[in-house]
Each structure stands twice: as structure tokens, then as C-alpha cells.
Amino acid sequence: MSILTRGAATLIKAATLVLPLLTRAAGTDSYAIPSAPGNYVRKVNVLGDARTFRIHVPKNYDGSTALPIILAFHGTSASASVLERETSFNEVADSAGFFVVYPEGFHRGWNIGDCCRYSFVKHKDETAFTLTMLSVLSRGLRIDTTRVYATGYSDGGTLSMLLGCKVPSRITAVASVSGTLFDPLPKCTLSRPLPVMIIHGTGDHNIPYEGKKGGPGYVRGNHHEYSAPDVASFWRQRNSCSTGPLLEKHGNVERVTYDCAAGRAKILFYTIYNGHHGWPGGGRGWIFSPKPPSDMAATDTIASFFLRYRIGDSPLTK
């Protein structure tokens, strides 16, 4: 047998040995509800479409206790697996005890209004997708439905805020990283106080901190993008924030805190001076992506903020 033939045979044998392991790890039923710790890729049927998501079940989960769940939405042109790598939410979930779901956008994008092309044109219902995932997963996993959190990066951050507006009875708190809101602003009459965190860098050229006017030929259409301070103001008004602001600065990071609804919710607005478009403290989504800002650890900060709150109660911790 030639060296080339032996090499090919070795590769085939190796692939034969590894393939069953990969198949068992992925599971044979893409619609099955996971019940044991691990990472899974699953699907749900939503209005005639098979929509995909990734889920991390934390390592010590045994079904004896209901756990919180964080929904993490990727940016346009990225994917669920990219955000999973960027954020390292799985490691925090293992230590703090919560589920993480990374939904997959339709053609790598979200329907967040008349701005983002294909998913909007195809009328994809992201609220239905979110609620269907939660409903299906709750049949097999013990999810604390009073502690369901939504976060996202870039357009995924926008989606997390829209979900807070649309289903505040189901979403406990939201956090947007490098996201914005568009003109016209969403209708947002909250049925309960909604804790919100906003993280944005002043050096962001993709979704500018100071906002951006629309116009002919602009990729997002004719719609105005609101500045990060305007987005914070939007949430202050919706939450009847009467106390604050409390301003703190550490290095390049400024945090403005607003106390809202008699202490039942807070608005936290982080400005990273000179910070560009990236998940602060996270990894690169792609090998050639710019290195994210290292001024703060967004994943730890968001998880800590979320886990203070549950629907129906005062904050678990101040």
C-alpha cells in the first residue's frame, strides 16, 4: 500500500470513528427537547417555518430546580454560533446556573422593522419565534418563567429591546450591546417596569453612538437611527424614572444609573469612550474581526444585572 493510500485509509478510519461521536453529541432528533447538560442545536416550527436555535444546558442541571434563561440574539450577517463564541455566556451559565439560548436569524438577520431587508420582506415574526422556543423548551426543561431575559448584539440588541416592548409580561429584563432604535419608535406601553441595560461605544462606526440619519441609498432605508443617549431616554420615559441619574466613571467606562418605578427597575446606561463595534470583553466572532473593547466584561455585567430581577417581585438584590 502506498503512503498516499495508507494516509487516505487512516483519514477514512478516523472519520468513521469520529462521526458517531458527533452524531450522538448533536442528537438524532433536531426537534427533541434536551434534558441533560450540554450544547444542542434544535429547531421549532413557527408559522410554517423550521427555525433553528442553539441551547446550552448548564453542567450541574438535574431538573430538580427551575432555572432562569437568557436569550442572546446575534447581529445581522453573523450567526448563533458566532455570538456563542463572542460572549462566552456558556461559562457564566455553568457557574451561575441558567440556560442560554442563541436563536438563529432568518438568512442571518432579524425582522426589526423596515430596515433590514430579507427577514422584513419575508414578514418573519421574531416575537412568535421567541415565544414558541420558550413554550417548547418548557415542556422538557424546568425554566423559571418569571426570569426570562433578552440580550443581543447590534441588530440583535435592537430585537431584545423590541421584545421588551412587545411582551413585557414574558421578558423580565433586556440588555442591548451596540444596538439602537429606529424611527418611528416602537409603541411601548409597558404593563410592568422593565429593567434595561444599554452598552455602546463612542467609536462605533457600524451603529454610531450619536445616531445616524437615513436617506436614499442608505442600507437601512430612510429611517433615522437614534443615538445611544436617545435610546436611554426612551426607556427612562417608559419606566417613569424619577430618581437619578447617578454617574460613575472607571477608566474609559461611564455608567449612568436611573432608579425607576419606586425601585422596582433600573436603567443602566454604559458609555465606553472610544469603544468600537464589538462585544466588550468578549472574543472575536471571526478570525479577522477587530478585537472587541476590553474596558468592561459585558457578559458578566449583563448576567449579574439580569439575575437580580424576576417578574412579580421587587429585585432579588439591590
pLDDT in tens, 65-84: 999 999 999 998 889 999 99
Q: What nine digits make up the cell of 235?
A: 426607556
- On whether residue 9 sits in a domain, the answer given is no
On the 0-12 / 13-18 / 19+ scale of CB atoms within 10 A, 76 is buried
**Which of these, 238, 169, 170, lies nearest to 198 by C-alpha position?**
238
Percent of the chain with pLDDT over 90: 65
pTM: 0.87
Domain count, the chain: 1
Note down the domain range covering 43. Answer: 23-306
pLDDT classification of 1: cutoffs 50, 70, 90: very low
End-to-end CA distance of the chain: 71
- On whether residue 60 sits in a domain, the answer given is yes
Q: Of 27-36, 45-54, 118-127, which has the strongest mean pLDDT?
A: 45-54
pLDDT in tens, 43-67: 999 998 899 999 999 999 999 999 9
pLDDT in tens, 283-295: 766 655 667 778 8
Please work out, in degrees rounded to the nearest 5, the angle formed at the alpha carbon of residue 285 by the alpha carbons of 281 and 289.
90
- On whether residue 16 sits in a domain, the answer given is no
- On whether residue 11 sits in a domain, the answer given is no
- pLDDT at residue 28, as a whole number: 54
Measured CA to CA in angstroms, residue 96 lies from 35, 99, 303 at distances of: 18, 10, 9
**Which of these, 161, 300, 148, lies nearest to 238 by C-alpha position?**
161
What average pLDDT does the chain have? Answer: 85
**What is the CATH number for 93?**
3.40.50.1820
- On whether residue 220 sits in a domain, the answer given is yes
pLDDT in tens, 137-168: 999 999 999 999 999 999 999 999 999 999 99
pLDDT in tens, 2-13: 333 333 333 333
Q: What is the chain written as a DSSP string?
A: --HHHHHHHHHHHHHHHHHHHHHHHH-S-TTPPP-SSEEEEEEEEETTEEEEEEEEE-TT--SSS-EEEEEEEPPTT--HHHHHHHH-HHHHHHHHT-EEEEEPPBTTB---STTSTHHHHTT--HHHHHHHHHHHHTTTS-EEEEEEEEEEETHHHHHHHHHHHH-TTT--EEEEES---BSSPPP---SS---EEEEEETT-TTTTTT-B---TT-TTTTPPBPPHHHHHHHHHHHTTEEEEEEEEEETTEEEEEEEEGGGTEEEEEEEETT--SS-TT---SSTTSPPPP-SS-HHHHHHHHHTT--TTSS-S--
- On whether residue 4 sits in a domain, the answer given is no
Query: What CA–CA distance (Å, rounded) separates 253 from 249?
Result: 6
- On whether residue 14 sits in a domain, the answer given is no
- On whether residue 13 sits in a domain, the answer given is no
